[in-house]
Copies of this chain bind each other. A is one copy, B any other.
Amino acid sequence: MLSTGFNVVGFNWMSSPAATELESIVMDWFGKMLKLPNSFLFSGNGGGVLQGTTCEAILCTLTASRDQMLNKIGRDNIGKLVVYGSDQSHCALQKAAQIAGINPKNFRAVATNKFTEFGLSPVALEAAIQTDLEAGLVPLFLCATVGTTSTTAVDPISPLCDVAKEYGIWVHVDAAYAGSACICPEFRHFIDGVEKADSFSLNAHKWFFTTLDCCCLWVKDPSALVKALSTNPEYLRNKATEARQVIDYKDWQIALSRRFRSLKLWMVIRSYGVANLRNYLRRHVKMAKQFEGLLVADNRFEVVVPRTFAMVCFRVAPSAMGITFNDETNANELNAKLLESMNVSGKVHMTHAVVGGVYMIRFAVGATLTEERHVSAAWKVVQEHTNTILNSYQ
């Protein structure tokens, strides 16, 4: 908490050299932990920056790609630019596109389905691009997600990048939730292909033990950000900037002023240590697996989508509801009731999603202090409330 509260006013390097230097060092550390290609690190002419949230990270990279494209095709063509994601992309993408002046008609939430486990299909992406090209539009930006909000689905980065690169599209990889897990070798494969992307972000405040807000963004071409976001008024002129040997993070983000976010990330990395961080993440995944196992062993429940990280999407199956009630609408209704009754008990807090028409309950492990006994207790709550609700349906 103190490292969060300890603030400086960092506009540019000059206004707080320590804050800038620590941030670039910590971002290179974290990038190496994730085995990001060198092209995303300062040592490889890329670099990392701490933003507040994913929405800001996307808005900055989208603005950079937009201006790069408009410089080629002319400012008057802003209305032709198209942004791609899937129907599982976080709403931050749509919001960023809205703010950046992309015509809302040119926002493509490409449909996913259960056959691709709600990941974005490269074939569907290419079809959408083709349709847009035929309509005279200009494909601009793709946001691929590793660990979607609703179900932690993973878009296949490598083939998506192959498609995107063919059409000159900027690819941003949003690994807000699941990116942290990729510091473990056994999970790293989820971001395979990231070397072909233009930018990559994850939220350390999500599953990396850091307080809100702390979104880590790496880009291959910082100059694209700087061209779109820099302003150099006289009152900020200084020798360090003019010597071009320092990073002025103000030109990598929306705001001019910035806080000393790297201190809290430094604190987390230094106090846990990499081995310990990996162990925590593994333990969370293991506990989610344990919960999943309990559900699978009880045939009243369905694990609706395969569990990939530390979140389990489940529901009471329609088949458990008795002959007169076993349709999807009734199942959705029952599961909504179940969630509400569990949350009202105050013993657990779970959330929901509706994907492919199916209402599912989301059980997530991710807090520092969660232990197996909490998972067992949660499972007990699920069973008790399910019993009560199923009895009322029989």
Contact = CB atoms under 8 A, between A and B. Distances in A.
A241 interface: no
Contacts of A259: 212-213
Identical chains bound together, number: 2
Given A1-B6, A53-B257, A212-B257, A105 B229 contact: no
A247 to B, nearest CB: 18
Nearest to A362: B235
Interface residues of A, number: 59
A254 B1 contact: no
A383 interface: no
Contacts of A67: 98
A376 to B, nearest CB: 26
A386 B236 CA distance: 23
Contacts of A35: none
Interface string A216-244: 00000000000011011111100000000
A74 B193 CA distance: 40
B92 A256 contact: yes
Contact of A53 (B95, B231, B236, B256): B256
Interface centre among A90, A212, A362 (most CB of B within 10 A): A212
Given A99-B100, A99-B254, A231 B78 contact: no
A354 B234 CA distance: 7
Interface string A1-29: 11111111100000000000000000000
B257 A213 contact: yes
A370 interface: no
B254 A254 contact: yes
A256 B52 contact: no
A341 interface: no
13 contacts: A2-B5, A5-B5, A52-B255, A53-B256, A55-B256, A56-B255, A59-B99, A90-B256, A91-B233, A95-B231, A99-B254, A212-B259, A234-B354
Closest 7 CB pairs of A and B: A101-B101, A1-B5, A91-B231, A4-B5, A53-B255, A5-B5, A91-B233
Given A149-B235, A213-B257, 14 more contacts: A1-B2, A4-B5, A4-B7, A53-B257, A54-B256, A55-B255, A91-B256, A100-B101, A101-B101, A150-B235, A213-B259, A235-B351, A235-B352, A235-B353
